[in-house]
Chain A
Amino acid sequence: MSSVSNASQTGSKKKLSFIVRDEQEPSHRSAVSAMQYDAQHGRLFTGGSDTIIRTWSVPQHKVCFRIFFADFPKNGFDVQYFFLSRSFYLQDAFSARGGVRSPGKNSPVQYQGSLEQHTDWVNDMILCGNGKILISASNDTTVKAWSIERDNKHGYLDCFRSHKDYVSCLAYAPNVEKVVSASFDRNIFVYDINANFKTVNNLLGCKDSIYSLATTPNLSLILGSGTEKLIRIFDPRTNEKPMKMRGHTDNVRALVVNDDGTRALSAGSDATIRLWDIGSQRCISTCIAHQEGVWTLQVDSSFSTVYSAGKDRWVLKTPVNELPKSQLLFQEEAPVKKLLLSEKENPSSIWVGTWKSHIKRWSLRSSAQLSIGGDDEGPTSSSHYSTSTPAPSSPPVSVSLRVRDQKPQQTTPELVIPGAASINKHKTLNDKRHVLTRDTDENVALYDVLAAKKVKDYGKRSFDEVFDENSKTIFIPSWFVVDSKSGMLQITLDELDVFSSWLSTKDAGFDDNDRETKVNYGGMMLRSLFERWPPCKAACMEAGEMDEVQKATSHFFSLPEHTPFIVCEGNGRPLFRLLVGDAGKEFEANELSQVVPPWVIDAIERSQLPKFNKMPFYLLPHPSTNPKQPKKDRLSATEMLQVKKVMEHVYDKVLSNSDGLVCNFFFKFCYFDLFSASSIPISQIHTKIEMYCNEQKLEPEMDLRTVKHFFWKQSGELLLYYKPIKN
């Protein structure tokens, strides 16, 4: 009920945004924070900051080994190390043919497809319903359900909008087929997978944002925690007041519970892992091996070994009944967001998602079994190992040894799914049309916002240098907001300033001679986005003769059809996501009609755009002309009025009326063209008059807002000084 009233309240503040990207995005572009693995079908699901959930086919271990021996000479096999940009990747032996970044046809891991509906970070995923349904949780405040098909034609099933803030975590009770979600909005919801995802429970009680969640297979208990630091234990059958377990001194970011609901493990920003006895609500023991926040935990099916990782990049293996005895398995190259055991029972390997876009699988078997070098094997040396030769087994780790003094048991992952670079810096050029970006590989590129595509690659160059090269002395008001939270460029338009960028077709580069016709970037952008939407098309057809407003948007570009385009509420919650190319389809067109904000309708359907902004300014004789009585004339004109027009005004009206007749100047500027029949051509006017602002001489081609921005540089009304040139 509240959502309805909320929607109508925020209706006027709705925003539009779109993402500039390739049609196919087969690699992750940013951090990977959610993973699920279907061992039965050898399928991996990954999601993260770039909003896209990807599915991969992964050869199962047993199969993998069979190929191994079939494909390789009997005397052993090569393990090669590759130097890829700044880091090393050991790819599976049979794909070891070249340093290609995206998985080639020979790679054991094949990209299968993408699930694209989320509009912000994907934080967690659950594979349920016998591997046929995937549930995902995102910062876009939604929980989404997807159908997973054998033929990889995965479908989008449903979207749950009950949460009002970022959905941070999910948990799964397989015995009863229920999924639990928790959010920064402090709510916990339970969904019944078998009853068409009906929300069967809403657990309240958490007093702060929830960052971690766990449940038992039969949903007998639900554990939730977060910035409140204490862990709450809910009994979903009674909905009684939850029990509390206190001990953590900071945000709790990971929780696991054993199958019978007697023991739980938690980890958090205080760098500890704690074992709890749920019956007595007490902390039994604490692991302090990590140096920084612990963000992810995995436990094997017998609840005997815990795998942990977080900000310090270490992946540790610790016996649950002896928490102080941690072993350093390996060190990642970036803080670890997600660990996932390939199998819960007697795990042979572990998947790791980090801040970087690469996904890695590390072996958990002692290195001898996979023959990937001993501990003393330096990463730079490439060497031969034979399966027949028993490799040195990893030395038994001394219990007393602190983790920081331990040697990692592995130095190279057994598998890498390479990721792509993400944009981590961006700046809008002065022309308010192009955005310069730099990505995590240090490559600099230029994007055209109006066309929603990349227009130039500069390679590895200095960002600031390229920016300066592309800068012009022109001031155009901002009309969009850029962000790169997904590692790709996202442009957001809102009602407040979307139409503020008026400029002449000459300045916009569409027509070198036309200074009179104005274009509006925001209006053009909306035309582009809604080009295929029937109401917009109709409006375009109707108009025979183009009026001024239509001219203002007539230069719009056709956007790539795959461009995702989102209508969201003022606070960023998405209402509808579609592709630009699908706006003409019946379903999408109808949905779009439901959510499209009125300011868009005004612009594209009724061709209504706001008027040019007027700017007041003062005109004074230059002090060097020694005026007897300096007269200050207050005038008003459009921001885009060029300095030479002001010169013309001075020449014709002010200087000729030496007696200082001040008439209605506002009137004059409105009908400026009527007066342009002056005795001197406007192109020559600068030979008669000079204009100054803040003691700097102004170019006749500049417009008033550019003068204000680059020369006046202060608030308050602009003062312009004129000085006649004496022959």
Chain B
Amino acid sequence: MGANGSSQLEKEISTTDSVNTTNEHYYGLVNFGNTCYCNSVIQALFFCRPFRERILNYKQTLKKSGASKDNLVTCLADLFHNIANQKRRVGTIAPKRFITKLKKENGNNLFTQNSYFQLSKDSELFDNYMQQDAHEFFNYLLNTISETLITEKKAEREKTLRHGTIKKGNVTVNMAPATAGLQRDDKTGERNGITVEGNDFRNSTETTWIHEIFQGILTNETRCLSCETVSSKDENFLDLSIDVEQNTSITHCLRVFSETETLCGDQKYFCETCSSKQEAQKRMRIKKPPQLLALHLKRFKYVDSLNRHTKLSYRVVFPLELRLFNVSDDAEHGDRMYDLVATVVHCGATPNRGHYITLVKSNSFWLVFDDDIVEKLDVSSMEEFSGMSTDANIQMPPGNQSAPQKNSESAYILFYQARNYAADNPDHNHKSKNSTHSV
């Protein structure tokens, strides 16, 4: 079945002229039993060009240095390398090494159903439990990669110190890409007086290319209503988790995300200027839009009355082109235009059961990656993945199965890439003019 699908796809893409100019590979990933959450995220990241290039670059650097390492990053690099260097344009591949490594690094809890929702409540630790949730996996993957890179960077630095000047030339070559990125980030940080207070990297202010690609800055502005003094605090993010509402759009959800909240009643704010508790207004805005904006729709919500998580299949329209309006007045690249490049879709009516697939844009057309099956997708049918416009399965839980399965296929993680991002010239976007927007 998978092979038939592949050959069908091969025919389809060979008729598209533009594809022939690029050497893109479309490979389905074999499901090792409940690993669709993992496959879907890997496919999405593979088609996030900046990410793929960095991963492949990592593989090359590793090869050059001759070091033999075995960790999750090298496994992912090998997988990407494998796909990119296949002879056939389409086919299937088994990400066996990667999955095995993932299992090994996370104990054997990979298949424990429900583990995410039960454990995440009790322990904030990410350590030993692997989640069924694609977003949790995405976070885990980014964190693991950046931690690995930081550790390697530190080791490299120590090596430099130890060997002194003797091996200097060799080492600088190896370190070049990473260090260049770091320095540039530090400079931007200094210029804006940013205090690095990352959520995911509390213990280290080191940045890697993961941060270069995904990291943006949120600014949390609080204005005392008595003295009208504004105090703001910056916060780094790798992805934005936004609340969803029925029959709305991403733009609306982002506006709600940045809506002004009044701290009043018992929640008054202690104002340093007033030396007392006063009413205050608070809002979150984006100060630095990232190169690759990962938007996580909070579709899995804990419902007290049901005592469990339910899925909000709300219809939330996502645009193929996005401009952020919730940027702060002093934001850099505030007018950035984003293009949708990949979408992880959750299928199913509950968080614990269901399936993940990925929609990907490659060149001029869209594709669906459903584990090992890859199919072309008409742009007009993209809207089917917005969610359901009726609350049927919310109002009649949990036995109601009448809702058509197809409609509960709803976008879960959206990957938007900044339009002016030039893969071969990361400095390109710095030339774009600063501009201001208000929410």
Say whether A251 contacts B225, CB under 8 Å.
yes
Say whether B227 contacts A485, CB under 8 Å.
no
Please indicate the chain A residues that have their CB under 8 angstroms from the CB of B265 in the complex. 165, 184
Residue among B225, B227, B276 making CB contact with A483, cutoff 8 Å: B276
Say whether A424 contacts B225, CB under 8 Å.
no
Please indicate the chain A residues that have their CB under 8 angstroms from the CB of B277 in the complex. 572
Mask of A530-557 contacts with B, CB within 8 angstroms, 1/0: 0000000000000000000000000000
Interface residue? B279 (CB, 8 A): yes
Complex Cα–Cα for A13 and B276 (A): 20
Interface residue? B228 (CB, 8 A): yes
A227-B225, A292-B228, A293-B228 known; A571 and B266 CB under 8 Å? yes
Please indicate the chain A residues that have their CB under 8 angstroms from the CB of B276 in the complex. 49, 120-121, 139, 483, 485
What's the least CB distance linking A667 to chain B, in Å?
A: 36
Within 8 A of B (CB), among A404-444: 424
Say whether B262 contacts A227, CB under 8 Å.
yes
Q: Which residues of B contact A (CB under 8 A)?
A: 225, 227-228, 262, 264-266, 274-277, 279, 281
Complex Cα–Cα for A139 and B276 (A): 10
Query: Number of residue pairs across A and B with beta carbons under 8 Å?
Result: 40
What's the least CB distance linking A80 to chain B, in Å?
A: 34
Say whether A484 contacts B225, CB under 8 Å.
no
Say whether B279 contacts A209, CB under 8 Å.
yes
Known: A208-B262, A483-B276, A485-B276. 11 other contacts (CB 8 A): A49-B274, A165-B265, A184-B265, A209-B225, A209-B262, A209-B264, A227-B281, A251-B225, A269-B225, A311-B228, A487-B275
Interface residue? A26 (CB, 8 A): no
Q: Which residue of B lies closest to A571 (CB)?
A: B266
Determine the main DSSP class of A at the interface with B: loop
How many residues belonging to A are interface residues under a CB distance threshold of 8 Å? 24
Interface residue? A564 (CB, 8 A): no
Mask of A188-210 contacts with B, CB within 8 angstroms, 1/0: 00000000000000000000110
Interface residue? A211 (CB, 8 A): yes
Q: Which residue of A lies closest to B272 (CB)?
A: A424
Q: Which residues of A contact B (CB under 8 A)?
A: 49, 120-121, 139, 165, 184, 208-209, 211, 227, 251, 269, 292-293, 311, 335, 355, 424, 483-485, 487, 571-572
Q: Which residue of B lies closest to A33 (CB)?
A: B226
Give 13 CB contacts A-B under 8 Å. Answer: A120-B276, A208-B262, A209-B225, A227-B225, A251-B225, A269-B225, A292-B228, A293-B228, A424-B275, A483-B275, A484-B275, A485-B275, A485-B276
What's the least CB distance linking B19 to chain A, in Å?
A: 51
Complex Cα–Cα for A311 and B224 (A): 13
Say whether B275 contacts A227, CB under 8 Å.
no
Please indicate the chain B residues that have their CB under 8 angstroms from the CB of A208 in the complex. 262
Complex Cα–Cα for A572 and B275 (A): 15
Q: Which residue of A lies closest to B270 (CB)?
A: A483
Complex Cα–Cα for A400 and B239 (A): 50
Complex Cα–Cα for A355 and B228 (A): 12
Complex Cα–Cα for A184 and B267 (A): 13
Please indicate the chain B residues that have their CB under 8 angstroms from the CB of A251 in the complex. 225
Complex Cα–Cα for A571 and B225 (A): 20
Please indicate the chain B residues that have their CB under 8 angstroms from the CB of A292 in the complex. 228
Q: Which residue of A lies closest to B276 (CB)?
A: A485
Residue with the greatest number of chain A CB neighbours at <10 A, chosen from B264, B275, B281: B275
Q: Which residue of A lies closest to B266 (CB)?
A: A571
What's the least CB distance linking B116 to chain A, in Å?
A: 27
A165-B265, A227-B262 known; A269 and B228 CB under 8 Å? yes
Say whether B275 contacts A184, CB under 8 Å.
no
Say whether B274 contacts A485, CB under 8 Å.
yes
Say whether B228 contacts A184, CB under 8 Å.
no
What's the least CB distance linking B216 to chain A, in Å?
A: 27
Please indicate the chain B residues that have their CB under 8 angstroms from the CB of A184 in the complex. 264-265, 279
Say whether B279 contacts A335, CB under 8 Å.
no
Please indicate the chain A residues that have their CB under 8 angstroms from the CB of B227 in the complex. 311, 335, 355
Please indicate the chain A residues that have their CB under 8 angstroms from the CB of B264 in the complex. 165, 184, 209, 227
Complex Cα–Cα for A120 and B274 (A): 12
Complex Cα–Cα for A293 and B281 (A): 15
Please indicate the chain B residues that have their CB under 8 angstroms from the CB of A209 in the complex. 225, 262, 264, 279
What's the least CB distance linking B276 to chain A, in Å?
A: 3
Closest 3 pairs (CB-CB, A-B) = A485-B276, A293-B228, A485-B275
Q: Which residue of A lies closest to B264 (CB)?
A: A209
Complex Cα–Cα for A668 and B266 (A): 48
Complex Cα–Cα for A293 and B224 (A): 12
Complex Cα–Cα for A571 and B267 (A): 10
Please indicate the chain A residues that have their CB under 8 angstroms from the CB of B225 in the complex. 209, 211, 227, 251, 269
